[in-house]
Amino acid sequence: MSELIDNARRRKDLLKHMILELHAGRAPEAVRPQLIRLLGEVPYGDVVAVEQEMIAEGLPVEEILRLCDVHTAALQGAISQTGARTAPEGHPVHTFQQENRALEWEIESLESLLAGAQAMAEDAEAKSLVHLIRERFNHLMDVEKHYLRKEHLLFPYLERHGIKGPPTVMWGKHDETRRLLRGAMDALGSAAKAATAGEIVAMAALVLRPAMAAISGMIDKEERILFPMCLDTLADREWVEIARGSAEIGFCLVDPADEWKPDLEAPEEPEGLAGPIRVNLPSGSFTPEELAAVLNTIPFDLTFVDREDTVRYFTQGKERIFARTRAILGRKVQYCHPPSSVDVVEQILDAFKSGRRDRAAFWIEMGGRFLSIEYFALRGGGGEYLGCLEVSQDLTAKRALTGERRLLAWDEDEPDGLP
């Protein structure tokens, strides 16, 4: 039989026929053995081409989206990646794959927690278990940045190469996953104050595992189809542009340490752009390098959250008070805090947005240090809310100051002239 379908066209026609059978209601387990027997391993390029052809021939994207998981299940393990390129460390695809491994770890951790609930008596109190599950789902919510980088960086470049079907279908699956995750978070929030093990088991079946399965399914689609196709299609210069835009959106659960630098010819310098770029402000200007140095030298930590509650920036001083990585960039600030403190975060932001308050101050003692944590509302010229600034400072040494110091002193124990 293999010689009858040896050419690519016949293979694609057969693949299309089988997918249409699935869409007509034939069970995946009935189609899968026939598919594997006739085709062996399906090249990932054929899956992409067939999906595009079906959309071009009039099959609504909504219909492909509705049964996408069905034909993916039928093709599970049968998609060949023979000859597919691998991404070097630091490459945008390598970063996507690192994020997938982190998401898989979170899902495995959740499975362990849910198995623990199943092993408990149905009426056993499980508030602490809900807290742990909610914390893991907080981390899964970070998949939003993974999807945004695909939607706003990866997909536009694929479309320039005429590949429009898979991005359209995947974007729809992203939105489905977002809805499932929101439903899971709402359910966990309602159960946070009181829940039994039996209620967790029921919740897992109804809302938690469907959200986890949606993320796992997308990981499979990415690894088997999307990433090999992208590596074959996009040029290094396009990947450079994707890499440049990635940090602005942020990374999911990981902070890529490696920087990918392809060997590209330097583009010609456009006319009129001679000299360093400056950031112009009402009272002066900086080069970006100078501005970064100033912000990283001031003796406290700053974190900026925009009007949409998204973390956009943090300083990187020598001595950090609280750990920060670039993985928080582009993440909703609510998901950067443990579930137990989210209500306080929401209260502060609501008060800032409504104009009732402009500042919230806290101070704590931790590990022998006296720490100040303040939140400030940022407002435009007309008073409109622009975002929130978190300012954290270690005041231990300054709090202990007494008397005066009017002369310069650079003792061995005080190399910077400060206690």
User: Please, which pLDDT band fits residue 184 given cuts at 50, 70 and 90?
Assistant: very high
Mean pLDDT of 39-68: 62
Span 194-222, average pLDDT: 92
Angle at which helix 209-221 crosses helix 165-190, to 10 degrees, equals 160
- The rounded distance, in Å, linking the Cα atoms of 204 and 147 is 24
Q: Say what the pLDDT of residue 64 is.
A: 58
CA gap 215, 195 in Å, rounded: 25
| For residues 180-205, average pLDDT | 91
Lowest mean pLDDT among 152-161, 227-236, 401-410: 401-410
Block residue for tokens 């396009």: 238
Q: In 3-state terms, what secondary structure has residue 196?
A: strand
What pLDDT, on the 0 to 100 scale, is given for residue 356? 95
pLDDT top residue among 282 and 137: 137
Position with higher pLDDT, 133 vs 193? 133
Higher pLDDT, 33 or 282: 282
Using one digit for the tens of pLDDT, what is the confidence trace for 334-357?
A: 877 766 778 899 999 999 999 999
What class is the 95-249 domain? mainly alpha
pLDDT mean over 192-213: 92
The whole model's pTM is what? 0.68
Residue 4 has pLDDT above 50, yes or no: no
pLDDT at 43: 63
Q: What is the mean pLDDT of residues 56-80?
A: 58
Compute the average pLDDT of residues 225-252.
Answer: 87
For residue 186, what are the CA distances in angstroms to 134, 181, 373? 10, 9, 29
Summarize pLDDT for 314-328 with one digit per residue, the tens.
998 887 787 777 778
- In whole numbers, what is the pLDDT of the chain averaged over residues? 82
Distance CA 186, CA 205 (A): 15
Copy the structure tokens of residue 206. 């109804």
Q: Which residue has the higher pLDDT, 12 or 386?
A: 386
Distance CA 19, CA 28 (A): 9
Tokens of 311: 């973390």
Fold of 279-399: Beta-Lactamase (3.30.450)
Q: Is the pLDDT of residue 249 over 90?
A: no
Mean pLDDT computed over 65-90:
62
The confidence score (pLDDT) of residue 75 equals 55
Residues with Cβ within 8 Å of residue 24, at least 6 apart in sequence: none
Q: pLDDT, tens digit, for every residue of 251-284? A: 999 988 778 888 776 555 445 445 678 888 888 8
Asked if residue 182 has pLDDT above 70, the reply is: yes
403 has pLDDT over 80: yes
- Are 140 and 103 in contact, with CB atoms under 8 Å apart? yes
